[in-house]
Amino acid sequence: MKKMIIIITIALLLAAAGWGLNLFSGGKPRPFLDADGKVIPGSISEKCFIDVNGDRQGMFISALDSSKPVLLFIHGGPGMPEYAISRQYPLVLEKYFTVCWWEHRGAGMSYHDGIPPETMNFSQFTDDAICVTNYLRKRFRKDKIYLMAHSGGTVTGIMTAAKAPELFHAYLAVSQISNQKESEKLAYSYMVGKFTEAGNTRMLRKLGRYNTGNLNTPSYYTMRDIPMHQLGIGTTHKMKSVFTGIFLPVMSCEAYTLRERINIWRGKSFNTKQSGLWDKVVSTDLTVQIKELRLPVYFFSGIYNYTVSCTLAKQFHDQLRAPEKAFYTFENSAHSPVFEEPEVFEGVIKGLERRA
């Protein structure tokens, strides 16, 4: 862990020198301002920490109008908060909801030394999500809120929706995981096929060190980021570099203190390696565990999404029983359609509003 902190610190200093990052900001989110530079009446932009089942956890709460319905957002990763990344894109969620960007146990602002690895499981995360939900319901005086989850967060998201449907208006799943072990095989085969067509022998040699039987290794997950983003099947369809697309936005986000920015990467490492959380994701088959949801459920997926297979997500959606459900396909997106095609997502939200 000490070695990793040294590496992160050096990377930060180099990034700050080259990109002019403000590493020593006060760690406060910017307020929402009108054209005259005044705070928009009724808006909210705050960072807070609450006790969640005995663990101090952080979150951002933001909205252009805090009277809007409340939405709890469960980030993916594993252990990768998305508040900073979301600031790069039009703020559609904050336009229609009061959004709680919760950073779950062991991630981001909620990371700290001494987290028992045995608490890093989906049963605990589900209980934590319900605890945060009840905090939001009480604070904003709502009987129900909306639940949205992305990528790795959809395991917790769908389990929470199944366990406590009475707390939520609906479950909104962005890049819903179903059977990640099979998803990884599909992604690997797709990459091999595309690089074979392109005659990219260098990348084929890297991929050739693995096969569909040995993909669940830390070295593979580190390696696959580059080819996935080269092919437009990674975080977004247009993102070609994790460094410029994720690392720099996180490190330039003034809502975090320097220590919190470092903890984002410490938490990501903890989630990926020490806690064994990603192994739990890969070994979980939600198509077997979750057959029915007793609330409306809406899936959102980009057609270029191979990080979490769009095809498998659609199959999972089709087998789910729910009082109302819909699958929304985004034609120009990969893994993050809410950010990649905000205007299309906004149209969907308007449609859901009319049906509510």
Q: Please give the Cα distance from 256 to 24 (Å, whole number).
A: 9
Would you say the pTM of this structure is higher than 0.95?
no
Give the pLDDT of residue 212.
85
Give the pLDDT of residue 291.
97
Give the pLDDT of residue 78.
84
Give the pLDDT of residue 13.
54
Alpha helices in 22-121 (DSSP H): 83-86, 92-96
- The β-bridge relationship of strands 70-74 and 44-52 is unpaired
The owner of tokens 């909104």 is 172
Asked if 174 and 75 touch (Cβ cutoff 8 Å), the reply is no
SS3 349: helix
Mean pLDDT of the chain: 91
Q: What is the pLDDT of residues 85-128, one digit of tens each?
A: 999 998 899 999 999 999 999 999 999 998 988 899 999 999 99
Instruction: Kindly state the helix (H) or strand (E) to which residue 145 belongs, with its residue range.
Output: strand 145-150
Q: What is the pLDDT of residues 233-270, one digit of tens each?
A: 999 999 988 888 999 999 999 999 999 999 999 999 89
Q: For the chain, how big is the Rg over CA atoms in Å?
A: 20
For residue 246, what are its two tokens?
């994720």
Contacts of 147 (CB under 8 A, 6+ apart): 71, 72, 74, 129, 133, 157, 160, 161, 167, 168, 170, 171, 172
User: Cα–Cα–Cα angle for 285, 100, 356, nearest 5°?
Assistant: 80
Q: C-alpha 91: how far from its chain's center? A: 15
Give the pLDDT of residue 137.
98
Ranges of the chain whose pLDDT falls below 70: 1-25, 354-356
CATH number given to 40-184+231-355: 3.40.50.1820
- Domain range summary for the chain, segments of one domain joined by +: 40-184+231-355
Compute, in degrees rounded to 10, the torsion defined by CA atoms 344, 341, 309, 242.
-170
